[in-house]
Structure 1
Amino acid sequence: MAKEYILCVDDDRTILMSLRAQLKRQYGERYSYEIAESAEEAWEIIEDAFADGDKVDVVISDWLMPEVKGDQFLIDLHGKYPEIIKIMLTGQADQVAIERSERDANLAACFSKPWTVADIAEAIEHAKLEKIA
């Protein structure tokens, strides 16, 4: 049976570990959880998952990262995998970047750091319902 992944992308490993632990408590065995410290690493995980017949269901990305900012990563991701639910976490994104992501990446939600896992879970469930409708 194919695995469904939630992928968290942030250049701060502490945030990644915290977010993964919170999501695991929220969803348990429903998902497999992956972390990436850059957009490049995230692409490798995504491509490997799909090549193995698995599915990346949700990507949660920081905005301010070296090399590729989260908004551009999510826009590029949407171009190749529009079915993936995309969420942005940020402590510093400007409104233009958020609006661009909403428009060009079909962003499900954007949360400021610190976030609550309840808000993220609600955004994921809402996005899943919209995909069905």
Structure 2
Amino acid sequence: MDKKKAILCVDDEAIILHALVHELKSSFGDEFIYEKATDAISAFDIIDDLSKEGVKLILIISDWLMPGIRGDEFLETVAKTHPDVKAIMITGQADEEAMKKVRGNSAVYAVLRKPWNSEELRSIVRFCCTGDRHE
């Protein structure tokens, strides 16, 4: 039997988390478990819980600018212990220099600006989760 697969969304703005999870559920239905965290510390706890429950975390979608730990630092830390988990960074704050650095981070597959383009988000998530470039 296949392991259940999860997508973790991390953003300090509850409305963004709600919109992101709603969009993912609308696009992918029950194909994945959708988890939410409002900061990196909570996200680390969720990652540990998923692992203990035997759920395979396959994708993290994280905001860049969050209190405590920035998204890029969070994703770099996750990549050290979970190198097979793909990541997408979303941001409305970062300047171009910061985005170049994030794009150079091997833990980050794609960077999207807020507000994201729904079709682009779906396509990138589909590719990260299945390797399929077509919807």
TM-score by length of structure 2 reads: 0.88
Query: Which amino acid is 1:48 matched to?
Result: D
Which 10-residue stretch deviates more, 61-70 or 105-114? 105-114
Deviations 1:60-94 (A, max 9, x none): 00001000000100111111111111000100113
Unaligned runs of 5+ residues in structure 1 are: none
Partner residue in 2 for 1:29: 30
Partner residue in 2 for 1:65: 66
In structure 2, how many angstroms separate the alpha carbons of the residues matched to 1:17 and 1:124? 17
Q: Give how far 1:25 is off.
A: 0.2
In structure 1, how many angstroms separate the alpha carbons of the residues matched to 2:102 and 2:81? 15
In structure 1, how many angstroms separate the alpha carbons of the residues matched to 2:9 and 2:44? 12
Which 10-residue stretch deviates more, 101-110 or 76-85? 101-110
Structure with greater helix percent: 1
In structure 2, how many angstroms separate the alpha carbons of the residues matched to 1:51 and 1:105? 26
Unaligned runs of 5+ residues in structure 2 are: none
The answer on 1:126 being equivalent to 2:127 is yes
> Secondary structure of 1:40's match?
helix
Q: Give how far 1:126 is off.
A: 3.0
RMSD: 1.6
Query: Which amino acid is 1:92 matched to?
Result: Q
Overall identity of the aligned pairs, in %:
36
In structure 2, how many angstroms separate the alpha carbons of the residues matched to 1:10 and 1:75? 16
> Secondary structure of 2:104's match?
helix
In structure 1, how many angstroms separate the alpha carbons of the residues matched to 2:81 and 2:99? 20
Deviations 1:23-51 (A, max 9, x none): 00000010011100000000000111011
Aligned residues: 130
Q: Give how far 1:58 is off.
A: 0.8
Q: Give how far 1:105 is off.
A: 3.6
Check conservation: 1:90, 1:113, Cα contact below 8 A. Answer: yes
Which 10-residue stretch deviates more, 89-98 or 105-114? 89-98
Partner residue in 2 for 1:53: 54
